[in-house]
């Protein structure tokens, strides 16, 4: 157990003993990761907690599609930052292993290099320039000494660095840092050492970022008036874009992509995400990538089981339609006409939806102009495919990256449009878990980030679906088109209609500099006393681990307001 987890557990044990919310009724609206987390922390503090979820299953976007023996996670599929989950369950004297088993993925993921640069290896005479294409006449793969066709470029340990097959190439990324160094060195002379330096900086950014900016709720400017922040933040890069920062370490575009693909998890691009988020490479390479038993929804079920153990009451099929003042508390109205009185409400539904549909008429959380000025994270074009036969060489997690991904990011954050040559992600959980697909079949999920607010009528979706599946066949050699036995789709419309997400964003607010830390919407409502927010539109941000922590912060705000400290009494 790390010092951070141990100290968090000790603090929560103190709160559990003091029960500062004993006798208080708290309603949580929405059972995503933020809502589930908040419910557990509130119940531990003594509150009577009821969670209202509009759908038939808990989890929000992190849900499940089941059809003909296939099971697909509908939302997040990467289990990252295991330390955050250990900290969460540890707060209650429990361990994740009591609720679900974890499999460490090896490799963490596979990267296919689509386009003319099929080798993905640098010409040694152009270390910082684009790689030369593989020659179909059997010429060498530049930078590896490997003949084009089936085969490998070998690392020092004898393992493959760049694998080629039928004129296509890929690399595997794992927790074996010697292997990763060899991959970087195969692309660019000196890049192996640069990777070490980059990873050291990422680890320090993670330590400082988590301890000072993530686990500590600094959602108000006053929360940042701490001289210790200046001392702790020395040596980490806060300003500048990720693209500028990464260029200071490696020049080859493929290596830059490997170090920045995680920005998709933050809902940003290399050009609008602050360099602080280099910490994601520590998450990737040092902390590892895992698969939870039962998929991501297995984690949802584990959190719900913990909540029930703590006395949380879950009600599904309850769509909340209003949150109004009610004496000294709040009244929550549901679509069936029912009402519930609560001393406090934690809203895991996003505040944009709350502004438009839940708050009393004439009461705005921040108003339409504010939300229109925000940068939303991407939406997603999703294919959930049950496929007959195998899908080798796809891995559990596979990335397909074009030679130049800037036009794709521009199609999201610049001039919104359907991307011509997208970067995309393929998840095949059946590579690891044989319970998610019938024997002789694979469960495949394809995710393409797209701009929120796009018109996604059936004809547009059909044409884009055909384009993506053709590109998958061309880039990886895996042609699914004649083997699909189950197919479901989701895109902008589903995220907007099913989950009330503005313009159909799949993630929340992007992690731009102006939407980081105290510049994100806070946990305390600005419109109604006793109302709080948790989830990806508040701090610390996007992703399952961040939403877990967001739930803790929302619960702590409720506790602090019930037992205000000296600073809270003196400073509004």
Q: Which residue has the tokens 């998890």?
A: 265
Query: pLDDT, tens digit, for every residue of 381-432?
Result: 999 999 999 999 999 999 999 999 999 999 999 999 999 999 999 999 999 9
- pLDDT bucket at 375, cuts 50 / 70 / 90: very high
Q: What percent of the chain has pLDDT over 90?
A: 74
Report the 10 Å Cβ neighbour count for 321.
14
Return the exposure string of 389-413: e unless at least 16 CB atoms fall within 10 Å of the residue's CB, then b.
eebebbbbbbbbbbbebebbbbbbb
Query: How many C-beta atoms surround the C-beta of residue 340 within 10 A?
Result: 18
Give residue 160's pLDDT: 62
For the record, the structure tokens of 117 come out as: 């640069």
In the structure, what pLDDT confidence band is assigned to residue 228 with cuts at 50, 70 and 90? low
37 close to 550: Cβ distance less than 8 angstroms:
yes
Q: How many CB atoms lie within 10 A of CB 215?
A: 17
Q: Could you give the residue ranges of the DSSP H alpha helices within 310-457?
A: 351-353, 368-372, 406-413
Give strand pairing partners of 113.
401
Provide the pLDDT for residue 460. 97
485's tokens? 């036995």
Span 54-104, pLDDT tens digits: 999 999 999 999 999 999 999 999 999 999 999 999 999 999 999 999 999
Average the pLDDT over each of 4-8, 270-274, 408-412 and give the range with the smallest value.
Answer: 4-8
Alpha helices in 325-419 (DSSP H): 351-353, 368-372, 406-413
**pLDDT confidence tier of residue 267, bands split at 50, 70 and 90:** confident
* CA 394 to mean position of chain CA atoms: 21
How far apart are alpha carbons 7 and 9 in whole angstroms? 5
pLDDT bracket for residue 130 (50, 70, 90): very low
Q: Any bridge partners for residue 326, and if so which?
A: 329
Strands (E), 433-545: 441-450, 484-490, 531-533
Instruction: Determine the longest span between alpha carbons in the chain, in angstroms.
Output: 80
Tell me what the mean pLDDT of segment 509-529 comes to.
Answer: 88
In terms of pTM, does the model score above 0.85?
yes
Q: Is 108 helix (H, G, I), strand (E, B) or coil?
A: coil
Confidence at residue 144, expressed as pLDDT on a 0 to 100 scale:
37
Q: How remote is the C-alpha of 75 from its chain's centroid?
A: 9
Average pLDDT (154-170) is: 73
| Predicted pLDDT of residue 26 | 98
Find all residues with CB under 8 Å of 366, minimum gap 6, and list them: 351, 355, 521, 526
Check if the beta carbon of residue 461 is closer than 8 Å to that of residue 480. no
Cα 442 to Cα 389: distance, rounded to the nearest angstrom: 7
Alpha helices in 214-339 (DSSP H): 227-233, 242-247, 253-260, 280-281, 296-309
**368 pLDDT tier (thresholds 50, 70, 90):** confident
The pLDDT mean for the chain works out to 88
* Strand pairing category for 290-292 and 102-104: antiparallel
Cβ pair 526, 553 in contact under 8 A: no
Helix (H, G, I), strand (E, B) or coil at 551: helix
| HSE toward the beta carbon, residue 304, CA cutoff 13 A | 20
Residue pLDDT, tens place only, 174-196: 999 999 999 999 999 999 999 99
The band of 212, judged by pLDDT with boundaries at 50, 70 and 90, is: confident
Rg for the chain (alpha carbons), in Å? 24
| Residues 469-513: tens digit of each pLDDT | 999 999 999 999 999 999 999 999 999 999 999 999 999 999 888
> Residues 445-472: pLDDT tens digits?
999 999 999 999 999 999 999 999 999 9
Asked if residue 213 lies in contact with residue 517, where contact means CB atoms within 8 angstroms, the answer is yes
**CA proximity to 172, closest of 263, 105, 228:** 105
Alpha-helix runs per DSSP H in 91-225: 177-187, 191-208
Tell me how far apart the alpha carbons of residues 534 and 254 are, in angstroms, rounded to a whole number: 36
pLDDT tens digits along 15-53:
999 999 999 999 999 999 999 999 999 999 999 999 999
DSSP of 457-470, one letter per residue?
A: -HHHHHHHHHHHHH
Please tell me the distance from the alpha carbon of residue 368 to that of residue 366, in angstroms, as a whole number: 7
Crossing angle of the two packed helices 191-208 and 177-187, in degrees rounded to 10? 130
pLDDT of residue 211: 85
Contact indicator for 480, 385 with CB cutoff of 8 Å: yes
Q: Looking at 82-122, which runs of residues are DSSP E strands?
A: 102-104, 109-113
Q: How far is CA 469 from the centre of its chain?
A: 24
pLDDT at 566 over 60: no
Higher-confidence residue: 282 or 364? Answer: 282
Q: Report phi then psi at 374, rounded to 5.
A: -85, 155
Tokens 């930078």 correspond to: 143
- Chain centroid to Cα 76, Å, comes to 6
Above 70 in pLDDT, residue 527? Answer: yes
**Whole-angstrom distance, CA of residue 521 vs CA of residue 351:** 9
Who has greater pLDDT, 207 or 151? Answer: 207
Shortest CA distance to 264 belongs to which of 248, 249, 284, 245? 284
| Residue 251 per-residue DSSP state | -
**89-105 as b/e: b if 16+ CB within 10 A:** bbbbebebeebbebeeb
């Amino acid at each position: 157990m790390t010092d951070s987890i141990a100290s968090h557990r000790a603090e929560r044990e103190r709160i559990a003993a003091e029960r500062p919310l004993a006798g208080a009724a708290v309603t949580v609206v929405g059972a995503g990761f933020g809502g589930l987390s908040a419910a557990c922390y509130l119940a531990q503090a003594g509150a009577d907690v009821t969670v209202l979820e509009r759908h038939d299953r808990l989890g929000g976007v992190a849900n499940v599609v089941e059809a003909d023996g296939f099971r697909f996670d509908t939302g997040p599929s990467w289990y990252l930052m295991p330390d955050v989950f250990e900290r969460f369950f540890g707060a209650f004297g429990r361990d994740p292993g009591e609720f679900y088993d974890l499999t460490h993925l090896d490799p963490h993921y596979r990267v296919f290099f689509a386009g003319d640069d099929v080798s993905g290896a640098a010409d040694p005479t152009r270390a910082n320039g684009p790689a030369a294409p593989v020659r179909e006449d059997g010429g060498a793969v530049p930078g590896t000494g490997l003949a084009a066709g089936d085969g490998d470029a070998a690392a020092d340990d004898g393992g493959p660095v760049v694998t080629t097959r039928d004129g296509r190439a890929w690399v595997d990324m794992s927790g074996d840092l010697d292997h990763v160094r060899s991959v970087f060195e195969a692309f660019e002379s000196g890049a192996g050492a640069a990777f070490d330096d980059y990873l050291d900086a990422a680890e320090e950014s993670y330590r400082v970022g988590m301890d000072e900016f993530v686990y500590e709720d600094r959602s108000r400017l006053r929360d940042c008036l701490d001289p210790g922040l200046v001392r702790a933040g020395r040596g980490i890069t806060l300003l500048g874009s990720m693209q500028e920062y990464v260029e200071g370490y490696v020049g080859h575009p493929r290596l830059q992509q490997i170090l920045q693909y995680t920005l998709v998890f933050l809902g940003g691009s290399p050009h609008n995400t602050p360099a602080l988020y280099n910490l994601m490479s520590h998450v990737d390479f040092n902390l590892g990538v895992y698969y939870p038993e039962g998929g991501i929804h297995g984690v949802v079920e584990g959190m719900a089981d913990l909540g029930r153990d703590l006395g949380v009451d879950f009600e599904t099929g309850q769509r909340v339609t209003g949150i109004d003042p009610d004496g000294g508390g709040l009244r929550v109205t549901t679509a069936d006409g029912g009402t519930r009185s609560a001393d406090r409400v934690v809203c895991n539904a996003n505040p944009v939806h709350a502004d438009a549909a839940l708050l009393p008429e004439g009461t705005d959380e921040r108003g339409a102009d504010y939300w229109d000025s925000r940068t939303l994270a991407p939406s997603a074009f999703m294919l959930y495919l049950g496929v007959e036969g195998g899908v080798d060489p796809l891995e559990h997690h596979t990335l397909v990256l074009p030679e130049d991904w800037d036009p794709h990011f521009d199609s999201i954050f610049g001039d919104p449009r359907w991307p011509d040559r997208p970067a995309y992600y393929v998840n095949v959980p059946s590579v690891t878990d044989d319970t998610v697909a019938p024997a002789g079949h694979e469960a495949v999920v394809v995710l393409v980030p797209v701009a929120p607010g796009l018109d996604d009528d059936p004809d547009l979706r059909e044409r884009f679906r055909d384009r993506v599946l053709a590109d998958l066949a061309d880039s990886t050699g895996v042609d699914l088109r004649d083997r699909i036995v189950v197919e479901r789709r989701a895109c902008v419309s589903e995220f907007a209609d099913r989950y009330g997400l503005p313009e159909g964003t799949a993630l929340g607010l992007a992690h731009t500099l102006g939407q980081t830390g105290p510049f994100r919407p806070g946990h305390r409502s600005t419109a109604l006393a006793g109302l709080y927010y948790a989830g990806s539109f508040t701090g610390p941000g996007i992703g399952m681990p961040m939403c877990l922590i967001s739930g803790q912060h929302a619960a702590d705000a409720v506790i602090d307001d019930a037992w205000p400290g000296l600073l809270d009494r003196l400073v509004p």
